Amino acid sequence: MAMKKRALALCSAAALFWGGMALAEVDVPPFYQAVGQMQPTGKLGEVLAKEAVATDVAGAEAWRIAFVSSDLNGKPTISTALVVAPTGDAPAEGRPILVWAHGTTGTAQNCGPSQVLNPAQDLNEYNLIGGTSWTDFGIPGLTDAIKAGYAVIAPDYQGLGGGGVHQYAIAATQGRDAINAARAVGAMGLSGAGKSAAVIGWSQGGGAVLAAASQPDYINQPGTAFDGLSFVGFGAMAPQDVAVLIPPAALTEDGANQLIPGLAAQFSDSVFNFTHYAMSMWAMPAAFPELKLTDIFTEEGAKAVNEVFSDKCMHAGADTISFTYGDDFKTLLNPQPSNALAWVKGLVAASVAPVKPVAPVVIYFGSKDVTVDPKMGELYRTQMCGLGGDVTRVQLAGEQNHFTTPPNATPLLMPWIADRFAGKPAPEGCQAD
């Protein structure tokens, strides 16, 4: 019998609708089928399901898990994740917790990196020579992290295997998934007495890193499955921060009516970039019900993107749009979107809050990144330094692009994380030129 699971993975067997459109069914492994029937009840970080996973990483054991999280509105969710930890009990002093926030994989229920056949390995990128799958999966520096004695978790984010519509590129939601992932590791007992945690991420996950760093109230709230976590550092590779690019003038009717078409034009230079933009717009109504797909897309466009992004992952979705529409993919967009001001307000709320980070932040970027504009990181640093934060930006040597950033940044990032776990003070990033 074919393994079927509704894309929203809710309890009802009836067809469900979002934004007036039916969502497709996709195939997922049995673990995720079972998780899709669960309700997100329990404490934040509470583990609802666990399944052992084989790994070739020496001295490690691994699991797929499902845990309770919540979105930016406080709505309870379920996120799945890959957990990898050293074998045996934690030492008396405990283990540090390292969270990996992955980059874009897609928006359908079968796009979670933990679902691949051999997920517990070092980062394996689709776009690079040596990539072995249809998607990015694995964790950068995993082998070294296990040698260092870290308990590591890589959340898939809500909507990528645990039910619900994935709130793609809504950094405020993915940041909460990262925080609750650390709680889940602690709740499993894998960190022992350890309460120190750090978050690293790339691209979409880089946005999650920055968003998590600016959620002190969420981090410190009591009554979770593992209270008292202390986040000691945040490492972002090519991160996104949409809000920092939006000028105050855009938060007016006239300004918003210019900004939204401008964003569409900026991301319509190729079908690859258009797919990222379309996925972002497709996801927004899941967090902001006042928004409708037909505000941004034509009737045909709304129907097409809904079918594609509820059923396919990133690269397959881009291929489908390219195959179906060729160079005419821009015709899926309304020339002048409606309800633009609500969309701009949503984009701001979905991004990184203008709040001082709770711990030092380091950002790595490549000079040839045309997928996520490094200007975002520059503006973020200026904003957060002005709030009293400690943010360092590091331009990688050579002409690195978006996809070569992780392999070139990881050898720099892992020692930086080790120093934070060791209690060493971070370099004064805001005093650098």
User: Mean pLDDT throughout 127-152?
Assistant: 97
Q: CA 92, CA 65: separation in Å to the nearest integer?
A: 25
Average pLDDT over the chain, rounded to an integer: 94
**Reported CATH class of domain 24-240+354-431:** alpha beta
Lowest-pLDDT range of 11-20, 297-306, 356-365, 388-397: 11-20
Three-class secondary structure of residue 31 per DSSP: helix
Confidence of residue 6 (pLDDT cuts 50, 70, 90): very low
DSSP secondary structure letter of residue 139: B
pTM: 0.94
pLDDT at 433: 60
Predicted confidence band of residue 223 (pLDDT cuts 50, 70, 90)? very high
Q: Is the pLDDT of residue 50 over 50?
A: yes
Taking only the tens place, the pLDDT of each residue in 74-120 is 999 999 999 999 999 999 999 999 999 999 999 999 999 999 999 99
Distances (CA, A) of 301 to 197, 272, 282, 294: 42, 16, 10, 8
Query: pLDDT at residue 379 above 70?
Result: yes
Contacts of 411 (CB under 8 A, 6+ apart): none
- Higher per-residue confidence, 5 vs 33: 33
Return all residues near 270 (Cβ < 8 A) that are at least 6 apart. Answer: none
Distance CA 190, CA 203 (A): 28
Average pLDDT over residues 184-206: 98
Give the pLDDT mean for 396-400.
Answer: 97
Q: Which pLDDT score is estimated for 241?
A: 96
pLDDT over 50 (residue 7):
no
Return left, alpha or beta for 118; rule: phi > 0 is left, psi -120 to 50 is alpha, else beta: beta
Please check the confidence at residue 217 and state whether its pLDDT lies above 60: yes
pLDDT of 229 above 80: yes
Q: For 36-47, write each residue's pLDDT tens digit.
A: 999 999 999 999
- The residue extents of the domains of the chain are 24-240+354-431, 244-349
pLDDT above 80: residue 12: no
The answer, yes or no, to whether residue 121 has pLDDT greater than 80, is yes
Residue 25 is predicted with a pLDDT of: 77
**What tokens were used for 315?**
């690269």
**What is the reported pLDDT for 316?**
97
The side-by-side arrangement of strands in the sheet containing 361-365 is: 47-53, 60-70, 76-86, 151-155, 97-101, 196-202, 230-237, 361-365, 391-395
C-alpha span between 68 and 47 (Å, rounded): 7
Instruction: Give the confidence band of 124 by pLDDT, cuts at 50, 70, 90.
Output: very high
Q: How far is CA 274 from CA 34, 126, 277, 282, 340, in A?
A: 34, 19, 5, 12, 19
Q: Are 383 and 421 in contact (CB under 8 A)?
A: no
Taking the C-alpha atoms of residue 388 and residue 404, their distance in angstroms, rounded to an integer, is: 31
**H-run or E-run covering 21:** strand 21-22
End-to-end Cα spacing for the chain:
61
- 380 has a pLDDT exceeding 50: yes
pLDDT tens per residue, range 328-372:
999 999 999 999 999 999 999 999 999 999 999 999 999 999 999
